[in-house]
Amino acid sequence: MMQISSVRRLTGLCGLAGARVFFPGDMLFYGHFGSGAYFSAGLINTVTHVSDARLYAGGLVGPFAA
């Protein structure tokens, strides 16, 4: 009985850790400072004008966080 609860706790903590890592990765890839009403325009501007290193870093974080 004790092993099942510790596995559940571990998987819950892994999920929280993944979410905490996934958020900065998304901010590197999609993030922009601006209004949410203009998110699609800001997204296009971010993807077309930021450095390739930032986009690669954001894209590499995702699989590890997942």
Q: Where are the domains of the chain?
A: 2-65
Residues 10-55: tens digit of each pLDDT? 999 999 999 999 888 888 887 777 777 888 888 888 888 888 888 8
Three-point CA angle 18, 54, 22, nearest 5°: 10
pTM for the whole structure: 0.62
Confidence tier at 1 by pLDDT (50, 70, 90): low
Residues 6+ apart with CB under 8 A from 23: none
From CA 7, how far away is CA 38, in angstroms rounded?
A: 43
